[in-house]
Structure 1
């Protein structure tokens, strides 16, 4: 039983909608436009410790839909979770916070964005599936490249 103190722990403590906004700055006039809207989607991740062994991980989607140069609607939604993660090596912790936790949060975020679009009177915007592992690996490669450039002699 003495080994239990070193047993790795990974548990979801809570999932919640942290922030949600919908803006239709050019309504009602823009709603009469017949042009096909352009959709721009940006995703961002954040992870931070909130107590010993507890981390808040959030995924934010910003969906901007515009007709010509005017915004039709803008949705920003941030879905978060509190995760208990203990007794893991640092390199594993980074992967869990950047890959596993966002993968658990993202389906809720997708549903929220789709629902808000529908409730606002628009066709739903379905966020595509995201490969968080590929995103993490690309970020790691970019950091290594930047560090390599910074350490290079002038």
Structure 2
């Protein structure tokens, strides 16, 4: 019986340490800046597109545009923003099934195969608030 109690104490210590030990920011987390913006294609908002900001090194930040093309980037740990510095930007359209707003709505149509668009020029994320309008090229490639 005492070995069972010892196992319980050990398990409780492991759980407590995994939750409480080493908490806080990851050591490799770079400085982030808030980034919001709008995706535009052919002069119109680009809705339900996934946008990915990829820094020269480190983890990307991502978002999905809303019905008006608006997005707000989130870093891999759930923090708002993107690493400060230049980024390659990739936009993916299709392959995303939007959640129905009405639970009684019919199921959505199957998604179209995704199309990938690469923004030709790097996008700079600066310290402080970043509000961007990103023009997505008309021609993409299969994703």
TM range (shorter): under 0.3
More helix by share: 1
Q: TM-score when scaled to structure 1?
A: 0.23
Looking at CA atoms only, which structure, 1 or 2, has the larger radius of gyration? 2
Q: What's the TM-score once normalised by structure 2's chain length? A: 0.25
